[in-house]
Amino acid sequence: MTLFHVCRRNSKECRDCGFCTEHFSCPGVDKPSIERFETACIDCDVCYVACPHSAVERVKDVVPRKQIMIVVDGEYFAVPERTTVKHALELLGLEFGKFPDETKIFAPCETGGCFACAMPINGKPKPACVTPVRDGMTIDLELPKDYVPLRRISGFQPHSVGGVGTPWWVKKSSQRYVEVACFAHGCNLGCPQCQNYMVTYDNVTPALTPFEAAAVLTAERNKYGVDRMAISGGEPTLNQAWLIRFFEELRQLNPDERARLHLDTNATVLTPEFVDGLVKAGVTGVGPDLKGLRTETFMRITGIIDDGLARRYLENAWSITEYIIDSYYPESLFVGVGIPYNRYFITLEEIREMGERIVGINPEVQACLLDYFPSFRRLDMERPSVHEMRKARETLVEAGLKTVLAQTTAGHLGP
Ligand code: SF4
Ligand code: SF4
Ligand code: FES
């Protein structure tokens, strides 16, 4: 017998922060409401993973679920009510996976942000992970050929500092703004100290086509008079079709040589073919984040509890970073590696080992240490002091890296 659960707000832990009513919508109800818990839950788990105060519990569902009929690729199937399309399809034997290459349906974020799991539901493409099954619903597993990908994107704005992959000489420029950026919703990791959780878990911002997003970012470029345009997240690489078309469109709208098109990524699901496609689409810079060298560290930083998955993500991040540097750097692609630092989750010894491994790939590559601040579910940790960041930077320099920056509360240290 299939066991189901529902999510329930723990009123003792809930801080009434409003995040679950303002930034994500519960698929079980039409309007955002805290009363949804237990009454309309379709066990999507969005509130469970997104509540910043871990105030949502998963409990066994004791209410029996009726069977309803759905039509999948023209065939009728009975599935339980009050669940997601993804879960219903899993019960029918379909596989959803956390890597784009290995299973039929890629479902990396499961919070309704990335649209990688979108499929025609009653004729309209919707994310399977957060869409409730309904009696008589029709589901097609293939998207139509003329489908224009969608993704929730927000935060179009200028930045005065830039990201990990912004070249150091641009960061040091005296201009007020160094780039304009936007942020992709949804992530395949679940970092307890997520530095941008308001975007990562927001599933109420309307989804945009790549053409709409590229047009808005280009307008921002023109408004603020900068040449760099960047996308960060969340994790931008989760929806490959969307991202390639976004950069193609951005390049078309910005054909001048001064235009720099940049991608920030956790690099966990990037493949060589995907990277080649991005470069062909016009990307000129990439900032892969390397969240540790050891699997335990990666698990601590990312919140991934499946050690096999964590190992695969971490190995992929390192090997694709090596591929990018060996294949493209520096002629056609600027690479700036990001390394999160906070003594709460990584030691200086491991930072040194990371530096040595990067030196083994190419000692000239820019590395940028990020001083992770308390955020999301890790409000208990302290932001590293300037002194700590200086020590971490010296550790990477001693390991042999030639260009090391460190983000601190007092600005960037480094070249
Ligand atoms: S997000 Fe969590 S803490 Fe905030 S109101 Fe919802 S249940 Fe309460
Ligand atoms: S967000 Fe998902 S898991 Fe949470 S109450 Fe709504 S349907 Fe249930
Ligand atoms: S996996 Fe469904 S929207 Fe991201």
pLDDT at position 413 is: 92
The fold of 67-139 is Ubiquitin-like (UB roll) (3.10.20)
pLDDT at position 165 is: 78
Query: CB under 8 Å to 122, separation ≥6 — which residues?
Result: 137, 138
Q: Which of 18-32, 137-151, 184-198 has the lowest mean pLDDT?
A: 18-32
Work out the mean pLDDT of the chain and round it to a whole number. Answer: 93
pLDDT at position 162 is: 76
Side chain identity at 227, as an amino acid letter?
Answer: D
Atom of ligand 1 nearest to the CA of 9: 7
- Tell the residue nearest (CA) to atom 3 of ligand 3: 112
pLDDT at position 153 is: 98
Q: Are the beta carbons of 17 and 23 closer than 8 angstroms?
A: no
- Planar angle of CA 374, 386, 189, nearest 5 degrees: 35
- Tell the residue nearest (CA) to atom 2 of ligand 2: 44
Q: Which ligand is nearest to the CA of 184?
A: 3
3-class SS at 230? Answer: strand
Task: Tell whether the model's pLDDT for residue 36 goes beyond 60.
Answer: no
Across the range 384-392, mean pLDDT stands at 98
Buried b (16+ CB within 10 A) or exposed e, 336-360: bbbbbbbeebbeeebbbbbbbebbe
Q: Which ligand is nearest to the CA of 48?
A: 2
Q: Are the beta carbons of 34 and 12 closer than 8 angstroms?
A: no
Residue 235 beta carbon below 6 angstroms from any ligand 2 atom: no
Quick one: pLDDT band at residue 161, thresholds 50, 70, 90?
Answer: confident
Quick one: pLDDT band at residue 38, thresholds 50, 70, 90?
Answer: low
pLDDT at position 167 is: 84
CA of 127 to the centre of ligand 3 (A): 6
Residues with CB under 6 A from ligand 1: 9, 14-20, 51, 53, 55-56
Task: Tell whether the model's pLDDT for residue 302 goes beyond 60.
Answer: yes
- Residue extents of the structural domains in the chain: 5-60, 67-139, 151-413
Distances, alpha carbon 314 to alpha carbons 189, 288, 348, 401, in Å: 11, 12, 19, 21
pLDDT, one tens digit per residue, over 316-332 is 999 999 999 999 999 89
pLDDT at position 2 is: 66
Token pair 């649209």 in the structure block, residue: 115
Q: Which ligand is nearest to the CA of 23?
A: 1
Query: Which CATH number is 151-413 given?
Result: 3.20.20.70
Quick one: pLDDT band at residue 102, thresholds 50, 70, 90?
Answer: low
Task: Tell whether the model's pLDDT for residue 371 goes beyond 80.
Answer: yes
Of residues 40 and 53, more confidently modeled = 53
Across the range 79-102, mean pLDDT stands at 92
Residue 80 phi/psi, 5-degree rounding, is -70, 150
- Planar angle of CA 273, 279, 285, nearest 5 degrees: 120
Residue 130 beta carbon below 6 angstroms from any ligand 2 atom: no
Alpha helical stretches, state H, 1-133: 19-22, 46-50, 85-91
pTM: 0.95
Across the range 78-85, mean pLDDT stands at 95
Across the range 235-257, mean pLDDT stands at 98
- Which helix (H) or strand (E) covers residue 244, if one does? helix 240-253
CA of 27 to the centre of ligand 2 (A): 7
Q: How far is Cα of residue 175 from the mean position of the Cα atoms in its chain?
A: 29
